[in-house]
Structure 1
Amino acid sequence: MDAPAEQMTPATDAAADSHQVPQSIDILKIMQSIPHRYPFLLIDKMVEIHAGQSAIGIKNVTVNEPFFQGHFPSHPVMPGVLIVEAMAQTAATLVVMTLGKAFEGKLVYFMTIENAKFRRPVGPGDQLRIHVDKERSRANVWKFKGVARVDDVAVAEATFSAMIMG
């Protein structure tokens, strides 16, 4: 059976070449876009991508996550820093999808985290819906605002920046 065709939108960032950006991507395309792998790949799919503007990533949290072995065995809670990392991976994928061929041979590096807030625990069975919005970019530095939600309730938020290097 053929996979459904990806819906495409034009890239809108000034730095992007004239390529089409998929509105959603699966784990295989994410793995082509960013270097993270198990156990540190923290997004399962992207359900919305607006090139140069915003994206929504999904993380399905399961009891099999390796961090639950020590955080905490009798009451598993996803570490907040990993929720922020999932935001950063969502943002990095947005950068790659936005820049297209202009990104080849480069990586996105996390630079700063500001105003991180953790509002409620995330545990097995939760689905994180990770919204990232690009606030601004200058040269190779992009700044983002991220909010992670479970069942439409904000569980974490942060402002962070990343640098494109390579």
Structure 2
Amino acid sequence: MTKISNVLPHRYPFLFVDQILEIEQNKWVKGYKNITINEWFFYENNNSVPSTLIIEGLAQLGAFATMSDNNGLGFLSALKGIEVLGQAYPGDRLDLYYKVLKNKRGFIIGEGVATVGNKVIIRADEIMIYLQANTE
């Protein structure tokens, strides 16, 4: 299995994937993020994970569907059809799924779903990632 740090340049506090569970290269990927009370985005009046950060986690996960060690850098480029249906809280395991719909000329378009337990909390019709090839 590919090591997360070999694919993503993100590190704490902006890494939103703890583990890759399953992957079918160029098709789909499953992973998760454990939500702890120590996350930097929790404060007195906010005890849930901001939906924008969950979407970022889906985009980070999407990089694994088409990338391998050191073959480039992915950038979240566009979003379409985002539905926020619930929230994640400290103690939750945020399960993430990204399915590749199209991969053309460095642009990867996929759909994503984030769940807690068996409940869908975020659904994205399209998450576009631009893959900048490694020039080394």
Question: Structure 2 length normalisation: TM-score?
Answer: 0.91
Superposed CA RMSD: 1.4
1:96 aligns with 2:67: yes
Q: Which has more helix, going by share of residues? A: 1
- Structure 1 residues 45-91: Cα deviation after superposition (integer angstroms, max 9, x where no partner): 0001011100001100010000002xxx2450100000000000100
C-alpha distance in 2 between matches for 1:88 and 1:57:
12
Name the larger-Rg structure: 1
Structure 2, gaps ≥5 residues long: none
C-alpha contact 2:20 2:30 (8 A) present in aligned 1: yes
| 2:53 matches 1:82 | yes
| Identity across matched positions, percent | 28
Map 1:13-162 → 2, pairs under 5 A: 22=1, 29-69=3-43, 73-97=44-68, 103=71, 106-158=72-124, 159-162=126-129
Whole-angstrom distance in 1 between the partners of 2:45 and 2:131: 40
The count of corresponding residues between Structure 1 and Structure 2 is 132
Unpaired segments ≥5 residues, structure 1: 1-21
Whole-Å separation in 2 of the counterparts to 1:108 and 1:114: 18
Work out which structure has the larger RCO, using CA pairs closer than 8 Å and 6 or more positions apart in sequence: 2
Give the letter for the 1:153 counterpart: K
Q: Which amino acid aligns with 1:46?
A: I
> In the TM superposition, what whole-angstrom CA distance separates every residue of 1:95-141 from its partner, at most 9, and x where no partner exists?
223xx56x1xx211111011111101111011011011001111111
TM-score by length of 1: 0.75
Higher share in strand: 2
1:93 CA drift (Å): 2.1
Q: Is the contact between residue 65 and residue 100 of structure 2 (CA under 8 Å) also seen in structure 1?
A: no
- Aligned partner of residue 82 in structure 1, secondary structure: helix
